[in-house]
Structure 1
């Protein structure tokens, strides 16, 4: 009789890893169901605090408003990236004013892009920039909806540019989030094209290259690409902003 039990256990041995996996799945589902309401309440609070421009700290993520110096440095870097090799006279034409005012023009473009995403997702977005925990990574905005945190990065395209800096920034954001094992996040990359200076063929080529590169470097944090023309944003969203004010 003892021998038969040994034979039975030996026969079941190959199924032990499968049984263990099944138990882990049941445990994860049970924990998710048990803490589902608390998780929803947490993400709702994150959304509220982000909309108010307050910092948010949880065991797995810290979001908040960086200092004025850090925000200025991020804006300076982005402007330098987008205006590199563009003559000052062309920058003056961009905002129908002096080249010195391009900074405020760039901030307006970012604001319009965030408004477009807010309208698409019916969400309230903090526009004061957002910092990710224990890092120097600052993004343009964030919001949460349906228990998912969305991180927003805006890129203004005035001239043909390489995709390397864009991909590099996305990898930096992804790796920072993954370092804390946070995967309930999506990144929205918003591309704003000045279609007076950018050809449609280039726009389509850039987006295709970005999608291809992101496909080959896929992680648990997906990147959603949204593209708008500056002319569209100005015609559709600027009148709404003026009416609200």
Structure 2
């Protein structure tokens, strides 16, 4: 962390979805270390409360809010908590996402629906909850975690890639529409998280586990990219960051 990164992040109020593990947890710790107040949302309420307590024990400011991004009212409550507890909302990190990938011919329709609901509708619910607050403040920054799957799909990832491509398109459209607000897309490649645990297809899961153990990035690499975008001066809008393992093609 550079002195500039710490200075620009210090004092900001940042809400993070999917904060109980993986990239979300790493991002919460990285931003809290840089002096931001973090409001942590995740479905696993016990884990998100534990993370908030851990940050407070280290001298940071944090609060946990049980949040299911599939429910719009949960996003509203998460961001309202930021304003109530810390006086404002500077950044929303739309991070929550799932990836139970499988070949289309397996017809795992319920899993397709879950990916659409979390990966796509969840981002839209975050945008809908954040924009009124940002407009009232006349400032704000929306950071969305997409995926390198938004640029290239492979067999088994068609629906997952479609949700991430849609998210990337929505965020670019938002950037063009809002003008005075900042919009950033961070697209990770393979990261060592529990993402693989959601894959119910045994062959796909075994392949992903092998690739993860061989080359996946630590989540802190993505957290640092998010922190970099957040820490830029207000007139600088980092629109898109792609971070992948060197070995990933």
- Higher RCO, Cα 8 Å, sep 6+: 2
Q: TM-score, structure 1 length as denominator?
A: 0.37
More helix as a share of residues: 1
Which structure would you say has the larger Rg? Answer: 1
